[in-house]
Amino acid sequence: MAHFAQLDENNLVINVVAVTDEDTADADGNEIESIGVAFLQATQGADTNWVQTSYWTARGRHPEDAPFRGHFAGIGMTYDSVRDVFIHPKPCESFVLNDEGTWDPPVAHPGDGRYDWDEDNQEWTEMAIPDAPFPSWTWNAVLWQWEPPTAVPDDWDDNNPYTWDEDSLSWV
């Protein structure tokens, strides 16, 4: 399965589609971008513009290979043909696009904890931990969530909901 981003006249991503392997493969079974583009133009219109993207590429990383075009394309992103990357919309006016096609803040992220960018003051502000839903619950800083002292029952679902009972410290 291959993925392709449809671009408008300004290289803005307006659609992302999956294309089967047989519609992107050459006679030897190799995935070829131009074959996938030709298939999409034949089925979606000869005047459409398509660029392949990788579902497995995110933030300039790929779990197995070199990253392919920086990020998996998404609607609203832009394809930069010079850098050959998909670029997210600019998050804040003060951010600057680097050579890899990623937006850099004017002040480096502290790297520990959770922070929001304060554009007015040009600084990172630490996010406040939300109030605990119950006194017995503990904060998991890695998952950024409150956790009960006892795990939610395995059979919980919309038809069999449980609620937390603080007095008995159990799910009922």
Asked whether residue 40 is assigned to any structural domain, the reply reads yes
Is residue 169 pLDDT above 70, yes or no?
Answer: yes
Q: Is the pTM of this model over 0.75?
A: no
Asked whether residue 52 is assigned to any structural domain, the reply reads yes
pLDDT of residue 59: 67
Asked whether residue 62 is assigned to any structural domain, the reply reads yes
Dihedral sign from CA coordinates of 56, 57, 62, 68: positive
First to last CA, the chain: 45
Asked whether residue 26 is assigned to any structural domain, the reply reads yes
Domain extent at residue 38: 2-89
Asked whether residue 109 is assigned to any structural domain, the reply reads no
Asked whether residue 125 is assigned to any structural domain, the reply reads no
State the virtual CA torsion across 105, 111, 115, 116 in degrees, nearest 10: 10
pLDDT of residue 30: 92
Domain count within the chain: 1
Asked whether residue 165 is assigned to any structural domain, the reply reads no
Measured CA to CA, the distance from residue 24 to residue 41 in angstroms comes to 12
Is residue 71 pLDDT above 80, yes or no?
Answer: yes
Confidence of residue 49 (pLDDT cuts 50, 70, 90): very high
Asked whether residue 115 is assigned to any structural domain, the reply reads no
Measured CA to CA, the distance from residue 105 to residue 98 in angstroms comes to 10
pLDDT of residue 70: 84
pLDDT of residue 60: 66
Q: Encoding tokens for residue 7?
A: 């671009």
Phi, psi of 22 (to 5 degrees): -65, -20
Confidence of residue 112 (pLDDT cuts 50, 70, 90): confident
pLDDT tens-place string over residues 113-150: 789 999 999 999 999 899 999 999 999 988 889 999 99
